[in-house]
Structure 1
């Protein structure tokens, strides 16, 4: 039986996600921005929370952990980097580790840059990736603790995933990301198509996720920093991709 996935809004613009294994009834929350919307979604579905899979230590991703753990006595899985303080952790995981949620298998990919402890969960059988604040639709996370080359390397790891993998990320930032991306690549047809789709979804108050890795590879300028045409737009012809990415990220910071 295929996994069931539910996307929910938390805080102001965070996404929470539940992934449920119908065979075993196990259910994991990918991050826990706040408890109430997650509890409401679980009760609506009739699911019991068995796991919380944390991607990184920022409060808007772990703020609901304590309340959820107290209520459900669920397992809390977190990055192995203990320098980042995360409470109530039961299991620490790093690159290549596999987390079981019932019969579902989540492969851990270390994707530092936004934070040093950031990890991504890839469910290969479900063709689904939970990238939190490393990769957004048509964007990427702000580089806060890491470096631009570190973040670019993390994005390359995700770009290597198959085109048909569904992408879930941590925030509803797509409309703003589209505006920036169009300032760099106004003639990109894939980006133009995504812009129209996003405008329609947001007008209907619908989420812009999930998207697919294939669409992101064509439309997300941050995944295209090694394209000569992108470097040329920035007047950086011949520059290393990590440098081009760094310029893109700095421009986005000020956009």
Structure 2
């Protein structure tokens, strides 16, 4: 089984676009589809043909390009079973614990309610990859819009239990803002302080802060250090009001 190739690129104002490609079969999946144009440009740049789109949740900034891309490529659209009524053009739906194969690569579906009620993440254990969308960010987590604070805390706990060397691709380039807030929560976390400085340097140089890893987040992300839903809620509400 060939290693997957990954193309990361910006979409909309601060979304990440991600393509995963299996060179042996030629299959290519887009993780969500924020908008058509940048995805088409990335496919052309790499010479890839879109065969799948893996949707994580129904928000427009993650599905805005689905209809046009499906029309052009006849790609198969996978998505969360609990949001099937909110996402058009789905060919197959998945819930927590479901598995499927992408060109021979096992994909495990993890239900992560909180940001939305039906949000799912895609974990490729043999490839050590997690596509976390708007559940887990570098040094942060998604806003709790539809679920409860308990939901989101439990979802993050699930992701934190994955192997430390799992590479995490997330939905938005929020990392610099997340870092500024994180150091106010944990001002004595030396690893966090050092990482915040590295992130400032990366962004100044125009580099992306994705991917991160589960191990790095466990060391530096305050949201993964919450030992209860109540403590998580305190940290999340602080971020909601942080300027």
Q: Deviations over 1:16-63 (max 9, x none)?
A: 110111111111000000011011101111111110000000000000
> What are the within-5 Å matches in structure 2 for residues 80-229 of structure 1?
80-82=81-83, 84-226=85-227
- The corresponding residue for 2:57 is 56
Contact persistence 2:121–2:130 (CA under 8 A): yes
CA RMSD of aligned residues (A): 0.9
Unaligned runs of 5+ in 2: none
* TM-score normalised by L of structure 2: 0.97
Contact persistence 1:84–1:117 (CA under 8 A): no
How far the C-alpha of 1:100 sits from its partner, in A, is 2.1
How far the C-alpha of 1:192 sits from its partner, in A, is 1.1
Q: Deviations over 1:178-233 (max 9, x none)?
A: 0000011111011112101101110011100111110100100000012xxxxxxx
1:246 matched to 2:233: yes
Contact persistence 2:77–2:91 (CA under 8 A): yes
* TM-score normalised by L of structure 1: 0.93
- What SS does the corresponding residue of 1:202 show, helix, strand or coil? helix
1:151 & 1:63 partners in 2: Cα distance? 24
- What SS does the corresponding residue of 2:130 show, helix, strand or coil? strand
Contact persistence 1:21–1:103 (CA under 8 A): no
Unaligned runs of 5+ in 1: 227-240
2:97 & 2:67 partners in 1: Cα distance? 27
2:116 & 2:85 partners in 1: Cα distance? 9
Q: How many residues align?
A: 241
TM superposition outliers: structure 1 runs of 4+ over 6 Å = none
